[in-house]
Amino acid sequence: MGIIAIARGFFAALAMLASAGTIFRAEAAPISWRISKTEWTAADEKRFGDFVRTIAESGCKTTVECMKGPGNPYRGSDPAGLTFHADCAKWIYMLRAYYAWKNGLPFSYVDKIAGKGTDIRFSQSSNHALSRHDLVDRGTGIAAEAALKAIHNKVWSATYRMDPVAEIPVEQDFYSPRIAPGAIHAGTVVYDINGHVAIVYDVTDDGHILYMDAHPDQSVSRSTYGPQFGQSTAKLGGGFKNFRPLKLVGAIRRKDGTFLGGRVVLASNREIVDYSLEQYRGNTGGAKGDGPDAQFSYNNASLDLFEYARAAMSGGKPPGL
């Protein structure tokens, strides 16, 4: 499964899509990735979630179809031969990096990891992020298609298998959020330690967490979060993950408003407002559990993780109200 990106030409177009109350105005983007913003704001995260939602709600059946179909408001500005072939783990990064490219946002990713065992996708200990690659414009723009291909080839399900506490030798791409409205949202990732990854595209009023996922045959499906994801210990990093906030620092702003040079700095766990180990430790009895041992309570009722997630995300609203 590789990403085939052959540019036969470039079509500058303005694409507009209205879906679920969201209107995208996708400006035609150059094949070169230019950085016009130094960080992802809350508004950028919201729009990324909206982008994921429109892809999911378009009904597309494969990763290629999803990116070429009407659910992708930026498709009109793609090089003619840009095609996305991705499994579950790569699909998440492809969506995030593609959105960053189209919106002039900075991007950085873990490009080297290490772990114990013969297959670190399923190791019984944490993997570690050893190095990162920052996408930085050195003067001629970032070659977007080459950058996407490199990301695709470097990330896999083992990249997600990390203890959320670990921050050395480099920060990992994700952090563990609270189980709460606003902290879990469209764009949140869900990792199953048995080797599968999904991305949330909506949370219903009664607390159902809806996700989209890709598969080894590049098909795309949708479902609702529940016990199928299992309950991971903290060291294996299963469960909910959000992309870690990042900033481009030390860059020079050019007359055209784009940024040259600099480096990407990621927020530490202590700097992230909604960072929490709640999903692993529980929220009762001093929250000292770990995965299957974690205990949860909502309005004095004892719940398992999955019941708690639904209650917390609905604000306790009974189903159907």
Check residue 316 and give its pLDDT.
Answer: 65
Closest CA to 165 of 272, 283, 247, 263: 272
Closest CA to 203 of 85, 41, 62, 312: 312
Amino acid at 14: L
Closest CA to 244 of 207, 272, 212: 272
- Tell me, what DSSP letter sits at residue 7? E
Cα 21 → chain centroid: 22
Whether the ω angle into residue 181 lies within 30 degrees of 0, i.e. cis, is: no
For residues 301-310, one letter each, b for 16 or more C-beta atoms within 10 angstroms of the residue's C-beta and e for the rest, the string is eebebbbbbb
**Contact between 33 and 142 (Cβ < 8 Å):** yes
Alpha helices for the chain (secondary structure H): 42-57, 63-68, 88-102, 144-154, 278-281, 305-314
Check residue 119 and give its pLDDT.
Answer: 97
* 3-class secondary structure per residue, 210-222: EEEEECCCCEEEE
Q: Write out the chain's pLDDT in tens, 321 residues.
A: 444 333 333 333 333 333 333 333 444 444 899 999 999 999 999 999 999 999 999 999 999 999 999 999 999 999 988 999 999 999 999 999 999 999 999 999 999 999 999 999 999 999 999 999 999 999 999 999 999 999 999 999 999 999 999 999 999 999 999 999 999 999 999 999 999 999 999 999 999 999 999 999 999 999 999 999 999 999 999 999 999 999 999 999 999 999 999 999 999 999 999 999 999 999 987 767 899 999 999 999 999 999 999 999 998 665 544
Strand 252-253 and strand 259-260: the pairing is antiparallel
Cα 48 → chain centroid: 9
**Contact between 247 and 265 (Cβ < 8 Å):** yes
Residue with tokens 């784009």: 258
The reported pTM is: 0.89
- Tell me, what DSSP letter sits at residue 19? E
Closest CA to 109 of 251, 1, 246: 246
SS3 of residue 314 by DSSP: helix
**Contact between 263 and 136 (Cβ < 8 Å):** yes
Check residue 27 and give its pLDDT.
Answer: 44
Closest CA to 313 of 189, 165, 221, 210: 210
224, β-bridge pairs: 210
> For residue 219, is it left (φ>0), alpha (ψ between -120 and 50) or beta?
beta
